[in-house]
Amino acid sequence: MEGAQSEFVQSLARYPGFFAGRGSGKTRSFVVKLFAKVQANPGCLGMITEPGWDGVRKYLMPTIRELFGEVEGLVRYWREKDAELHFPGMGGAIVFVRPASEPDKCKGPNLDFAAMDEVAVDNQYEAFRNLQGALRGKKTKHQQIWVTSTPHDLKPWIKSIWVDHISPTSQQPFSYPENYPIFRMGTLDNPHTSDEYKQDLIDSWGNSRYARQELYGEFITVGGLAFSEFSRDVHVKEPPSGTEFVREVTGYDYGSTSPTALITIKQDRSNHLWVTDEFYQRNTTEQEWIEWAGEHNLSQITSDPSLSQEECRRLSRMYSIRVRPAKSKRFDARYKFWASKLSVGPFGPGLFISPSCRNLINEIENLAFKQPKGREVHVDEWAAGVQDHAYDAGAYAGMEFETGGKWMPVKVNL
């Protein structure tokens, strides 16, 4: 094993995650780390999960037999009745095997470690939380839960934990983000596949969302996507040199420990909208975003309607910036604005986003509707773990272009 595989197997962090494309040795890494953990901690008690029982039979056990078949006398591979791996030659260590699709089965014993294979299949967040609560064993020096997954169809809660280091439940930053290292490997990184095979995939998939996930290991949500038409190739661009803008609105979504976001949208003479600037910062102070507003010569802001009239008047008086609540905070109103403007018609979309607005682009790409297991998606609620602060700020600004708000036109030459 080399590179990300080796680093993942050797990691002693509390929650390491290995996210690799198909054919990148993900299951092998999972199994090697399992055996290394048991060997280093005789008599330990662990639990590993697959999305369902089918994965145990088709992927997990065949990989164990392929890599460690010669130690048949040390490992009693599969006890159908108890669903356990026994290691009699390693201090009597026991590893429970459970389906993550049944999260209640991840409760119970005091575990020294746990591991979740293909953690992005369905919604395994409840199983992960149950395993966290069970990590109370005393027989290992480094208690761990490690996870593996293909980049395809990563769930928002996974990105929230291992990329953003934010709790999907409380939306608060983790106190120890170093506990959640991420090890990534794309299909193209595998030295054991031919160049012809790799080039065939590049030719077939191009720069699609699927290719960015599978070939390059990017974190792009697919399941329940809110804006499946969004494409960086189509929607992300700077306005042409000399574009004349006739109107400008900045939306404001305030946060305390969650990010504060300001998004500026400008309208050109052809009625196209251009998102030109963003402010996006967690744990920000009022003075910091006000300074940004001053640097960008903002004179008018439309805010989250939750901001009181009294607070709007205070900000207006103190900083000489006209602040008023947005027309609506309704979920459907915000979604309608973005869906209508990002929709690609015969003449293209109605809105473009500057490449400098990285947080807004990331949110638009990854917003996904909540989809309970076995049910249809909730079109009025986001999946756990998604971020929507820049999205909300942009919606508050954008709705002004639809509702006829009386904003003073501005002329800006770029």
Look at residue 355 in the predicted model and tell me its pLDDT: 95
Look at residue 297 in the predicted model and tell me its pLDDT: 93
Q: What is the 8-class DSSP label of residue 368?
A: B
Look at residue 90 in the predicted model and tell me its pLDDT: 84
Look at residue 377 in the predicted model and tell me its pLDDT: 53
168 and 256 within one domain: no
Instruction: Give the end of a domain, one of 168, 185, 214.
Output: 214
263 and 168 within one domain: no
136 and 110 within one domain: yes
Is 220 domain-assigned? no
Number of folded domains in the chain? 2
251 and 178 within one domain: no
Task: Kindly report the CATH number assigned to the domain that includes residue 42.
Answer: 3.40.50.300
**Run means of pLDDT, 10 residues per run, the chain, 414 residues:** 86 93 81 93 94 85 85 66 85 92 88 94 89 90 91 74 87 92 83 81 73 70 75 92 94 89 95 96 92 92 92 92 92 93 88 95 87 58 85 96 51 35
CB 268 within 8 A of CB 318: no
Cα–Cα distance, 210 to 218 (Å, whole number): 9
Instruction: Give the end of a domain, one of 186, 214, 242.
Output: 214
| Residues spanned by the domain of 86 | 3-214
Is 323 domain-assigned? yes
Cα–Cα distance, 331 to 216 (Å, whole number): 33
What three-state secondary structure class fits 115?
A: strand
According to DSSP, the β-strands at 244-253 and 260-268 are antiparallel
238 and 135 within one domain: no
Residue whose token pair is 């249809």: 376
CB 185 within 8 A of CB 24: yes
118 and 19 within one domain: yes
385 and 263 within one domain: yes
174 and 29 within one domain: yes
Is 96 domain-assigned? yes
Is 341 domain-assigned? yes
- Record the pTM: 0.61
Look at residue 138 in the predicted model and tell me its pLDDT: 85
Task: Kindly report the CATH number assigned to the domain that includes residue 289.
Answer: 3.30.420.280
